[in-house]
Amino acid sequence: MNDRIILTGISAVGYHGVFPEERLNGQRFIVDAILDLDLSVSGANDHLINTVDYSKVVELIHEAITGIPFSLIEKLGHQIAEIILNTFSLVRKVQITVHKPDAPVGIDIVDIAVQIERSR
């Protein structure tokens, strides 16, 4: 199966991090999601019920970013992957990339990211 829904650049302010200032001030997080599922039925019949409503996926990811703070972006990515798999039964595999472009590492960088892949 090679069918995918790809969501890129879901951005919100979250309060994830190990340092107190990250938990206090927050920072921008960006999430990309790749959902593997069979799109042949929805492609043939043009009915939303036979696919995943990606607006709902975006909403869940946004809620995870802005919700309960975690120390690690690894945990945030894992949590998002689990939520998607538990909410959308058609999704067989999910790949989540959590970007933390403003991570306080003491040196200018473009991005720090983790990639989480989970499947049924």
Does 100 qualify as catalytic in the annotation?
Answer: yes
The residue annotated as part of the active site, out of 56, 75, 93, 100, is 100
- Contact between residue 91 and residue 55 where contact means Cβ atoms under 8 Å apart: no
28: left (phi over 0), alpha (psi -120 to 50) or beta: beta
Q: Assign 61 to helix, strand or coil.
A: helix
Residues serving a catalytic function are 100
